A and B are shown apart, each in its own frame.
Chain A
């Protein structure tokens, strides 16, 4: 910051797109979106269907399930750091009890990113569940009953009636999660600091390192703009979707 600024044109962007570390961070966040948001959606959908069929205590159960989502991501990170502890963590203890070999969750480049994805899935599956459950409950019972009387099987009712009606809700939930997961930062700081090596570095965390640890502000700003463009593209899908609904 001490030097007078010098205009370098697009040099930062050219450097960015040629840098392996940038693409590695993009690939990592891509994996988080694919596997993390993907499993959050599938588990959330299953949970919502289960809870929708629960007879009693639906409100209490929903509240209990959504607790992981409301506590601070920093606290989530601390908790999972204990759970993943190689020697003393409960997860490896359970693995060993089931006669599996213990896993070096956070210090093995093969498992560091999956560990983050598992914690993120634990934290955000309740979001998918709560949103899809609200969608399910807004579908009138008569629709299902009428189909059942006409002899449709459970599976048929789900694929032909519930799924099409739920589609808008699912799209909203996935788009919001994709936008949020793309900014994944807190869990990376708490669990792995991007390591070992760069195996679990996400784009936001890399941006943080460049800006606030290496202090190359110009390069950090270029990185920020690239992320902004990605978010704007996703946000545009979301906003267009909302606008159509309002018309």
Chain B
């Protein structure tokens, strides 16, 4: 970097530009392929040489994909991801506040909570399956909502704990002196001040639940059909409907892509469980 850093010649800038452009093309082209396939008509996928840009954009795959379970998938995933996000946020904020302000359970409790996040889902899905079976909860919304919430709460607690710790406690202390009780100090003073943290946590929980596959696959049958399960089931048939699969895949990706653009600032912090401040 030395000499380049001081006076970047045009030559270097051009190389840099092309290197980044080339890598960007590699990283975006698979998604572009899926997006373009969703507009192909039946049979256009099965041609050689492959058609990159469909001749006449055909929206029928989107409607057909919605009929084949895509619409129900979007609804179910919204219900599950939405409820899971709300519960995780509520429980997470309360737990994180008490961990940050009162040091409940010392350091070890906080680390124990974090360790739940690292649990391999396959190791807990079997006992959960037996548990929900005896409760007659297989194939219900609540089983997936609870399971996703259990996986998300450690994350919510840990990230929000970081945000609360960065907040000086002076404001809450003066509110307490002025006659607020602890809960009011939490809900009226501290909570609004960590709003960015709440937004980031909510987005992360939502994306996790939206994209989750293993629990969804094992804990649902026919009554509840999350998007990831719908997409997988479309591949199972003897004739693979690539246009429909791509259309549902595109619809499943757009919300998380939009969220990721808003989330970008908090992404690093969230992804590394707070180990690296983004």
Contact of A54 among B20, B123, B256 (CB under 8 A): B20
Residue of B nearest to A74 (CB): B228
Q: Does A214 contact B (CB under 8 A)?
A: no
A-B pair count, CB < 8 Å, reads: 224
CB-contact partner of B249 in A75, A90, A130, A169, under 8 A: A75
Let me know if B268 is at the binding interface, CB within 8 A.
Answer: yes
Are A88 and B3 neighbours in the complex by a CB distance under 8 Å? no
Q: A75-B252, A93-B49, A126-B27 are in contact. Are A183 and B210 (CB under 8 A)?
A: no
- Whether B1 contacts A144 by the Cβ 8 Å rule is yes
Contact (Cβ within 8 A) B23 A50:
yes
Task: Establish whether residues B256 and A227, one from each chain, have CB atoms under 8 Å apart when the complex forms.
Answer: no
Asked if B231 is at the interface of the complex by the 8 Å CB criterion, the answer is yes
Query: Is A208 in contact with B122, judged by CB distance below 8 angstroms?
Result: yes
B115 touches A239 (CB 8 A): yes
Is there a chain B Cβ closer than 8 Å to A72's Cβ? yes
A196 sits at the interface (CB 8 A): no
**Chain A residues whose C-beta falls within 8 Å of the C-beta of B259 in the assembled complex:** 70
A88 touches B271 (CB 8 A): no
Check: B136 CB closer than 8 A to any chain A CB.
no
Distance between Cα atoms of A222 and B209 in the complex (Å): 27
Q: How far is the CB of B210 from chain A (nearest CB, A)?
A: 7
**Inter-chain contact A88/B50, CB cutoff 8 Å:** yes
Say which residue of A131, A145, A224 sits within 8 Å of B5 (CB atoms): A145
User: Is the CB of A115 closer than 8 A to any CB of chain B?
Assistant: no
- Asked if B122 and A78 sit within 8 Å, CB to CB, the answer is no
1/0 per position for B42-79, CB-CB distance to A under 8 A?
00011111101000000000000000000000000000
Q: Is there a chain B Cβ closer than 8 Å to A211's Cβ?
A: yes
Bound Cα distance from A87 to B46, whole angstroms: 8
- Is B272 a contact of A66 with CB atoms below 8 Å? no
Total chain B interface residues with beta-carbon distance under 8 A: 77
Choose among A88, A186, A190 the residue that contacts B48 (Cβ–Cβ < 8 A).
A88
Contact partner, A183, options B37, B122, B278, Cβ 8 Å: B122
Residue in B13, B24, B213 whose beta carbon sits within 8 Å of that of A186 in the complex: B213
Q: Interface with A: B28-36, B82-90, B139-147, B193-201, which one?
A: B28-36
Contact assessment for B213 and A231 in the assembled complex, using a CB-CB cutoff below 8 Å: no
Which one, A72, A74, A148, A211, contacts B126 given CB within 8 A? A211
Task: Tell whether, in the assembled complex, residue B31 and residue A212 are in contact, meaning their CB atoms are under 8 Å apart.
Answer: no
Q: How far, in whole Å, are A64 and B124 apart by their CA atoms in the complex?
A: 34
A212 to B245, CA, bound (A): 25
Q: Is the CB of A135 within 8 A of B276?
A: yes
Q: Are B122 and A185 in contact (CB under 8 A)?
A: yes
Given A63-B260, A239-B111, residue A172 in contact with residue B276 (CB < 8 A):
yes
Q: Given known contacts A68-B30, A88-B45, is B253 in contact with A78 (CB within 8 Å)?
A: no
List, in ascending order, chain A residues with CB within 8 A of B2's CB: 147-148, 151-154, 156-157
Whether, in the assembled complex, B120 has its beta carbon less than 8 Å from a beta carbon of chain A, the answer is yes
Within 8 Å CB of B31, what residues of A?
A: 67-68, 71, 79
Contacts of B207 in A (CB 8 A): 70
Given known A70-B257, A75-B252, A221-B126, contact A228–B213 (CB-CB < 8 A)? no
Q: How does the 8 Å CB contact mask read for B1-30 relative to A, with 1 for contact and 0 for none?
A: 111111010000100100110011001101
- 15 inter-chain pairs at a CB distance below 8 angstroms, sorted by A residue, are A55-B8, A64-B28, A67-B27, A70-B256, A74-B231, A75-B252, A90-B50, A148-B3, A157-B1, A158-B1, A169-B276, A185-B213, A189-B213, A225-B123, A231-B119
